[in-house]
Structure 1
Amino acid sequence: MPRRQMHVICAAEAPLRAALRALRTTLDVPDGFPAEVLAEAERAAREPRLPERDATDVPFFTIDPPASGDLDQAMHLERRAGGGFRVRYAIADVAAFVRPGGALDAEAHRRALTLYFPDEKVPLHPATLSEGAASLLPEQTRPALLWTIDLDADGRAVATDVRRALVRSRARLDYEGAQRQIDAGTAEEPLALLKDIGLLRERLEVERGGISLDVPEQEIVEQDHGYALRFRAPLPADGWNAQISLLTGMAAAHLMTRAGTGILRTLPTAPDGAVARLRRTAKALHIDWPHHVSYAEVVRSLDPADHLHAAFLQECTTLLRGAGYTAFSGGRLPDPAVHAAVADTYTHCTAPLRRLVDRYAGELCLSAVAGEEPPAWVREALDVLPKEMAEGSRRANTVERESVDIVEAALLSGRVGELFDAFVIDVKDHEPDVGTVQLQDPAVVAPIEGGGAELPLGEALRVRLMQADPGAAKVQFAPA
């Protein structure tokens, strides 16, 4: 499921970059890896555990942003004789490189997740593995967990298999290139079928009541002694590609629940207060959301290329904040077991280079298909893994929240004293003069203090910028 994606385009010495570097220091984010971890990664890169099965004859391809080096997934799509489709989805086999209980494993458990700042990332694994020996780079033979999921003509999964295999990607595509080929009709069938299968899976998502957020990427560009905000709207190919990952995550959850042991990604239904706040944000951004229209319907009606719609989609990620990881065994499923946005049982299993839990989910699914007990190192981790992932998620949320504050302060720097059109989207229960406003332009969410005057919740308000300091990650408004 998506997070806010922010990307800074400015010189290394720019004040915004300096503020982000200071944030990493403040949050005590790791700067590099310990020597013993790097040494173990180098050894593992030279001597991975290789599977017996060879699937290098399958012409897999990857689709990722152009600058990505940690390629977790490769796919091959084909039609099945008699109707339907076969999805082959190769996932990087991190367990082929990481020895349970070793220094590399311990460091991954400390980090839990790759952290994404607007200007750089702090990886889960050393680049020797994540962007080298374990990454599904083109024309390189790699160990992988090979998922084979058969779909009927409507796109419903009818059979699932996963096992270890050697794979070899033949092409490295980016979203724009893949979209051009599909639109022009020049894509070979394995890529062309991404649209057919993606559209079928999107229809099934609507049918079961699920919702995918096409969250645009925010680009913050340095210009004219300041900064400007622009959005990169996701392409249809982004969504079709995401549907393959969602399909696999649901298939993995179904394998685990049938086996009686596993770890799920769960999300309760959003509380009414969170939805009400989002309705006020929609009103502030002039997005029509009648009361009889559901959240899912209004999201599907949005155009990510529209800057106001894009800003609203960014705020929609707030409804995902209750997501967590829940382990289970003995056939006793957690309550709730369903991910509310997926509208089905679901787990993370397709990004093991960037998420610790995915390595364990893969092992649990391999055991479920084989009809065997999971390895001892996997079973023993189930007691602590949800807590480690929760801590990693809290750290990632802090990085996101603090980065947004810094970026928004940079966008507004130099404009202290100016007036803006805004909308009051939140007010503190016991401090009615303290709350949150959504600006119309730029699309910034920021705190406001009324100086003793009660803020008009849900109403338009002319506001004055009182402070905008990227170094302090501080933006403050007051009623004009």
Structure 2
Amino acid sequence: MPSPRMRLPRRVLDAPEAVGVTRGLDHIRAELQVPGDFPAEVLAAAERAAAAPRLPELDRTDLELVTIDPPGSKDLDQALHIAARDDGGWTVSYAIADVAAFVSPGDPVDVEAHRRGETFYGPDQRTPLHPPVLSEGAASLLPDQVRPALLWTIQLDAQGRTTDADVVRAKVRSREQLTYEQAQDDVDHPGPSGTRPTLALLAQVGPLREQRERERGGVSLDIPEQEVVPAEGGGFGLTYRALLPVEGWNAQISLLTGMAAAHLMLYARVGIVRTMPPAAGSALRRLHAVARALGIRWPAELDYPEFVRTLDASRPQDAAMINACTVLFRGAGYAAFDGSTPEDPEHAALASDYSHVTAPLRRLVDRYAGEVCLALCADQPVPGWVREALPALPGEMARADQAAHRYERAVVDWVEACVLQPRVGEVFTGTVVEVEPEKHRGTVVIQDPAVEARVEGDGLPLGHEVQVRLVSADLEQGKVTFERA
């Protein structure tokens, strides 16, 4: 908290005063050299590929798959179906968009994807990894369309533990595209015919997988999204949107698949995994100190993952604590291997081996990890073009991640400055979440408007509410300055 992702709902984008906001975001994209339009040869190659996909023979259009995504999404990577078994377990069918059915090694679309690395997200638009004719059209798992997919079949026992996992190429057809809000409403308020079967089972499987996460010692931070909203009397404001339970359950299915993929690749000693080093003891000691300063009880017998689950982001002190906890979620990277395994392949936050395989429309590495798993499950050699690309992928993804994070951070800073500019001179109430005495400043989380702000001055009381005055909001630098009032 605040999330690096910021939402600009359509009702805000359509407002006349939003013109200045979008111009500013365009300037940020130009300054940070965020990839722009695709070259003509890439668009032409994508058009040809979209017209002639390589469809697999296996037909699984019988599966009543659904997609669950944010409103307005068109780049649909995943579609889900869950079936209950007679033994009390479940069969999870998870279809992943098959980018390799359209993109060939070394073709213009492939070369451009390697240059970009991933989709860049702004609050007003996304800068896609692949041309929209593929990512939002022919390769996307849009409803009522036959699509090539990597179909994962994962067997879970009655406790939600994985007993078997397999992936094959198959033709699939999603039945329905749902938003998170629609899915949650269907679970909470079933209609005359009841909750959709897959959603009803997701509401069982999701919490069980969250319980398995707790048992492993993994943790997911429930960080609200920052959202731009119309303000009373004109202009804009900022607020936080709390995540819905179904978002966490849906994420658990993606994590489940990524863990299965990592186990396959590590066993076979070829592939690429997502890694994160364990937190240093000094970082945990600092978090205990922050909890004491915030007046939050952290019993000695409660380990870090369990402590995080006691926090409620709707409470200012807890939100400040969640903000402080993000220091333990740094240092993520990728490790590629062929013939051996990485020295420390685990993703510490998940307390498990893990690989990115569920978002190939939006992330380059997922296509390669998916191809490795397909070959292993078919007992076939991993394709040469995949093996050749593996060594360079960690560096390519690191550069793309860094560029995306710089962009997202710059967007958040600039939009906050834009929203706050008319309020220079006002006094706000915030909670001190960090103190940097050597730099004579600290960090304050303000709930209304929902911003995290640097405050100049000494003597800031960690964990306490303070009054701060907005001194300036510089749109050119995307910077706001507060002082203690």
TM-score by length of structure 1 reads 0.91
Q: For 1:90-169, list aligned pairs within 5 A.
A: 90-169=95-174
Residues 1:23 and 2:28 aligned together: yes
CA distance in 2, matches of 1:466, 1:103: 49
Structure 2 CA distance for partners of 1:147 and 1:242, relative to 1, 3 Å: same
Deviation at 1:461, TM superposition (A): 4.8
Give distance in 2, aligned partners of 1:338 and 1:43.
Answer: 40
Change (3 A) 1:272 1:469: farther
Distance 2:383 2:3 in 1: 32
What is the identity, as a one-letter code, of the residue corresponding to 2:271?
G
1:340 correspondence with 2:348: yes
Q: Which residue of 2 aligns with 1:252?
A: 261
Which one of 187, 202, 221 corresponds to residue 213 of structure 1? 221
The aligned counterpart of 1:72 is 77
Match of 2:4 in 1: 4
Separation (CA, whole Å) in 1 of partners of 2:202 and 2:308: 23
For residue 389 of structure 1, report the CA deviation from its aligned partner. Answer: 0.3
2:195 corresponds, among 167, 187, 196, to 187
AA matched with 2:149: A
Residue of structure 2 aligned with 1:267, choices 254, 257, 276:
276
1-structure distance, mates of 2:99, 2:203:
29
Task: Kindly indicate whether the alpha-carbon contact (under 8 Å) linking 2:276 and 2:332 is maintained by their aligned counterparts in 1.
Answer: yes
For residues 369-414 of structure 1, the C-alpha deviation after alignment (integer angstroms, 9 at most, x for no partner) is 1223211111111111000100010011101211121122233222
Question: What code does the residue aligned with 1:442 have?
Answer: P
Q: Cα distance 1:359–1:30, how it changes in 2: closer, same or farther (>3 A)?
A: same
Distance in 1 of aligned mates of 2:151 and 2:116: 26
State the 1:49 CA deviation. 1.3
Contact between 1:147 and 1:162, CA under 8 Å: does it hold in 2? yes
Question: Alpha-carbon deviations, 1:92-130, whole Å to 9, x = none?
Answer: 000111110111001101111111112211111111001
State which of 320, 325, 344 in structure 1 corresponds to 2:329. 320
Q: Between 131-140 and 24-33, report the one with greater CA deviation.
A: 24-33
* Counterparts of 2:60 and 2:309, CA distance in 1: 38
Deviations 1:143-198 (A, max 9, x none): 00010011111111101110101111112222222222222341243321111111
Higher alpha-carbon deviation: 153-162 or 232-241:
232-241
Contact (CA 8 Å) 2:17, 2:235: kept in 1 or not?
no
- Tell me the amino acid that sits aligned with residue 246 of structure 1: L
With over 3 angstroms needed to count, the CA separation of the structure-2 counterparts of 1:36 and 1:231, relative to structure 1, is same
SS in 1 for 2:345: coil
* Per-residue Cα deviation, 1:50-75 (whole angstroms, up to 9, x for no partner): 11111112221111123110110111
AA aligned opposite 1:64: D
- Aligned-pair RMSD on alpha carbons? 2.5
CA distance in 2, matches of 1:32, 1:477: 38
What is the aligned partner in structure 2 of residue 407 from structure 1? Answer: 415
Once residues 75 and 280 of structure 1 are traced to their aligned partners in structure 2, the CA distance between those partners, rounded to angstroms, is 42
Report 1:58-69 matches (<5 A).
58-69=63-74
Q: Does 1:49 find its partner at 2:87?
A: no
Q: Letter of the aligned partner of 1:7 in structure 2? A: R
For residue 367 of structure 1, report the CA deviation from its aligned partner: 1.5
Contact persistence 2:431–2:465 (CA under 8 A): yes
Match of 2:309 in 1: 300
Amino acid aligned to 2:102: F
- After superposing on structure 2, the runs of 4+ consecutive aligned residues of structure 1 that deviate more than 6 Å are 279-284
Q: Letter of the aligned partner of 1:221 in structure 2? A: V
- SS where residue 472 of structure 1 aligns? coil
Cα gap change, 1:232 to 1:462, in 2 (>3 Å): closer
TM-score (norm 2): 0.90
Residue 439 in 1 paired to residue 446 in 2? yes
1:153–1:247 CA distance, 2 compared to 1 (3 A):
same
Matched, 1:449 2:429: no
Q: Does the CA contact (< 8 Å) of 1:289 and 1:298 recur in 2?
A: no
Q: Which moved more, 1:123-132 or 1:299-308?
A: 299-308
> Any idea what the Cα deviations from partners look like across 1:301-331, whole Å, max 9, x if unmatched?
2345557656765665453231111111213
CA contact (8 A) 1:287 1:309 kept: no
**Cα deviation, residue 256, structure 1:** 0.4
The whole-number CA distance in structure 2 between the counterparts of 1:73 and 1:306 is 33
2:270 maps to a residue whose letter is T
Instruction: Please list the CA deviations of residues 452-471 of structure 1 after superposition, one character each: whole Å capped at 9, or x if unmatched.
Output: x5766666654332211234
C-alpha distance in 1, partners of 2:284/2:3? 18
Task: Determine the C-alpha separation between the residues in 2 that align with 1:233 and 1:369.
Answer: 39
Encode CA deviations 1:321-371: one digit per residue, 9 max, x unaligned. Answer: 31111111213x223211111110001100100101100110011112122
Q: Which of 458, 469, 483 matches 1:478?
A: 483
CA distance in 1, matches of 2:343, 2:312: 35
Does the aligned pair in 1 maintain the 2:3–2:225 contact within 8 Å? Answer: no
The verdict on how the C-alpha distance between 1:457 and 1:240 changes in structure 2, with shifts beyond 3 A counting, is closer
User: Which secondary structure does the structure 2 equivalent of 1:414 belong to?
Assistant: helix
Q: Distance in 2 between matches of 1:58 and 1:130?
A: 22
Bigger mean CA deviation after superposition, 183-192 or 340-349: 183-192
Relative to structure 1, the CA distance from residue 173 to residue 432 in structure 2 (aligned partners, 3 Å threshold; closer, same or farther) is closer
Native 8 Å contact 2:316 2:447 kept in 1: no
Percent of aligned positions with the same letter in both sequences? 55
| Distance verdict in 2 for CA 1:19–1:315, change over 3 Å | farther
In 1: Cα distance, 2:124 partner to 2:323 partner: 18
